Amino acid sequence: MAFMLGYCSNSPKRCHHAYSLEVLDRIDACCPDCGLALIPVQNLGRQLRIDIKVLQIIFLVLSIILLLLVYIYY
């Protein structure tokens, strides 16, 4: 059985699950409190991984530029 991990998509004022940003695991992909659909966590995790990859590439490029600058000036 595949559980759906996600946050409540309701307004934080209307649902305490949305307010606390609590990760809920539900088979029916609905908040147990207000019944609204959940925002899946998997997408957020993938987005974060892409961000980390971009940062790593930027760091790599910067270090190569630094190495080249040192190489040119010596």
Contact residues: Zn ion, CB under 5 A: 8, 10, 15, 17, 31, 33-34
| CA–CA separation, 32 and 11 (whole Å) | 15
* Residue 35 vs 59, nearer CB to Zn ion: 35
Nearest to 37 by CA among 49, 20, 50, 24: 24
The least CB distance from residue 28 to Zn ion, in Å, is 13
Single-letter amino acid, residue 24 = L
* Residue 12 vs 45, nearer CB to Zn ion: 12
* Residue 5 vs 33, nearer CB to Zn ion: 33
